[in-house]
Amino acid sequence: MRNQKIIVINGFQRGGTNILYNIFQSHPLVCSPINLELGQIISQNYRLAPYPKMKLIRFLIKRIKLKFYSFLNTKTVLDTFLIRILGNALDLLLYSYKKKEFNNPFNKYKYKNKSYTKDEIKNRILCVKSVHNDIRLTRFLSRFYSDIYIIGLIRNGYALCESWIRRGKTAKFSGKRYRKFCMMMINDSQEIDNYKIITFEDLISNPFEIATELYKFAGLKPFTLDKLRFQVKKVLTSKGEHKIIFGRERAKYWFDSENISDLLNSNINKIQIEKLSKNEKQNFEKEAKVILKYFNYLKN
C-alpha cells in the first residue's frame, strides 16, 4: 500500500465539493490526484466528455463502472483476498496520479511561496473526491484503508435542483437523485467509522472555522491555517449571469479570513432557489421530501 492515509470527500456535482477539496488541498500535509474525481481516474471517462459522438461509449462505460462498483461491495470481494488485490491496484493508480501534483502550477505549493519536493509529495496524505455514483466506492475504500477519513457534503436540495434543471434535468429526476445520494451518505455515516457529514451552508459561511474542524477530525497538524487556497470558477449572479468575480478562471489564489468573502458568496443558495418555479419546487419535494425534512431544508 503506497497511500497509508486517505481522505475521501463525498457529495454532489454542483454541491460545493470543489470548495471542500480546496480546503484539504490547502493543508501542507495533503495532496490530491491533479483535481480529478475518483470515478474519472478509474474510468478515464473524462477524456470522452467533449465529444458528442461518444455518448454511447460514455453510457456503456458508466454502466460497466456501476456493475464494477456493485461487485466491489460484495462479500466475494470484501471478505476474501480480492480486496487486497483490487485495493492495491487502485491504491497504486491513485499514487501515480498523486505524484503528478509536482507539475501542477498551483497544487505543487504547500505554502504560498514554498513548493513541495518530489519526495514530500510522495509521502503526502491523499485526498480524493467521489461524487454521485462514485459514492458507492466508500464502503470498499473503508474496508481496504485502515486509516481513512470520510466527509459527506450535503447541500440545500432546492439549490441543487435549480442547478440540475439548468443543465437539462427535470425536477422529478433531481429529487430522485438527491434522495438517493443523500441516503447513501446518511447510511454510510451510520455504519462506517470516521465518517463526518457537514453542510454546504456551514462550509461557505465559515470556511476557516470548518477547515479547522475538519483538520482536527482528520488529524492534520497544524489544525489552523492563516490562508486557504481556492480555485476560481464562474458563479451565478442575482441577474442570472455566470461571471468570474475574482481573478482568472481556474487559477488558484490564497485567501485569508478577511478577503475570503471576495470569492465565496454566502447568498448563492437564495439566488438559485428563487429561480425555481412553484411547480418545480413541488415536483422536487415529492421525491426528496424525506431528505429535505431530515436536514431542515423543507420549505413551508
Which is it for the CA torsion 272, 273, 277, 281, positive or negative? positive
Give the residue-averaged pLDDT of 251-268.
Answer: 90
Calculate the average pLDDT of the chain.
90
Q: Which residues pair with 11 in a beta bridge?
A: 131
Confidence bin at 114 (pLDDT 50/70/90): confident
* E strand intervals along 206-291: 228-231, 235-236, 242-243, 252-255
Per-residue pLDDT reduced to its tens digit, 231-245 = 888 877 776 777 787
Confidence bin at 54 (pLDDT 50/70/90): low
- How does DSSP classify residue 224? -
Confidence bin at 45 (pLDDT 50/70/90): very low
- State yes or no: pLDDT of 100 exceeds 60: yes
Per-residue pLDDT reduced to its tens digit, 272-296 = 999 999 999 999 999 999 999 999 9
- Residue ranges and CATH numbers for the domains of the chain are 6-294 (3.40.50)
Mean pLDDT check: name the lowest of 118-127, 241-250, 251-260: 241-250
pTM, 2 dp: 0.91
Q: Which helix H or strand E contains 196, and what residues bound it? A: strand 195-199
Q: Which residues pair with 97 in a beta bridge?
A: none
3-state secondary structure 39-84: HHHHHCHHHCCCCHHHHHHHHHHHHHHHHHHHHHCCHHHHCCCHHH
What is the pLDDT at residue 46?
45
Give the residue-averaged pLDDT of 224-231.
Answer: 94
What is the pLDDT at residue 48?
47
In sequence order, what are the residues at sequence separation of 6 or more whose Cβ sits closer than 8 angstroms to the Cβ of residue 58? Answer: 45, 48, 49
Q: Is 151 exposed, middle or buried (0-12, 13-18, 19+ CB in 10 A)?
A: buried
- State yes or no: pLDDT of 300 exceeds 60: no
Q: Which helix H or strand E contains 127, and what residues bound it? A: strand 125-131
